[in-house]
Amino acid sequence: MYILDSSKYFSKQNCVEITGMPASGKTTFVRQLMDENSNTINVNGNLPKNNLWRQFKKITYAFLLFLRFPSLFIKDTKIIISSKQNSYKNLYSVLTNWYLIIYQYKKYSSGKAIYIWDQGLFQGIWSIYYSSSSNFNYKHLLEDKTLPQTVYLTDADDLELIFRSNKRKDNIRLDYNNKEEIINGREAMEKTINVMQQIGYQKN
């Protein structure tokens, strides 16, 4: 578990993220936290299960984010493009995921409930690193965002991740049958944890 201790970056105590490799148990951990506290809301649980409708939702949120916060939208887009994604498909994926996450934070971070993301800001950072071929200014990307006060990390060994991914019915970006992709995913996670530590997250 990591807790933010920073005077520069703004966080909210009622915002929690679970981050980790695909199939590492993020959704299961969210369910566990929700069982422990009835005042907890799974933000991504409100998204459509159907992929077509989910993509429509992402595009809608991207459009609304641009209308409400055009300067932020343009800044974030430029930074993510500067990461030099290895395909247009991955560029589309990381951009629409990022817009979705940012809009969700704008929409859900107020109130007394505890909001949990299993696909939040730092999973978005992992996603950018996973398919990038260049470094990007993550500090500039995060400096005007509401950050989660607490971030939990989930993990499992490679054999367990391969087993879980083969059982899943939905598609994930990382192909666990490809050793190079596993290595790339691990490296992206190390970079993501380094980002968290650089901006003030302390391991608890």
3-state secondary structure of 152: strand
Q: Do residues 135 and 116 touch, judged by C-beta distance below 8 A?
A: no
For 124-147, the three-class secondary structure string (H helix, E strand, C coil) is HHHHHHHCECCCCCHHHHHCCCEE
pTM, two decimals, is: 0.92
User: Pick from 118, 127, 156, 101: which is nearest to 28 by CA?
Assistant: 118
Report residue 15 CA to chain centroid gap. Answer: 13
| pLDDT per position as a tens digit, 95-114 | 999 999 999 988 886 778 89
| pLDDT per position as a tens digit, 2-56 | 998 887 887 788 889 999 999 999 989 999 999 998 889 899 888 888 888 989 9
The answer to which of 2-11, 97-106, 117-126, 186-195 has the lowest mean pLDDT is: 2-11
Please check the confidence at residue 138 and state whether its pLDDT lies above 80.
yes
Q: Which residues are paired to 18 by β-bridges? A: 152
Identify the DSSP state of 120.
-
Six-digit token string for 64: 């609304």
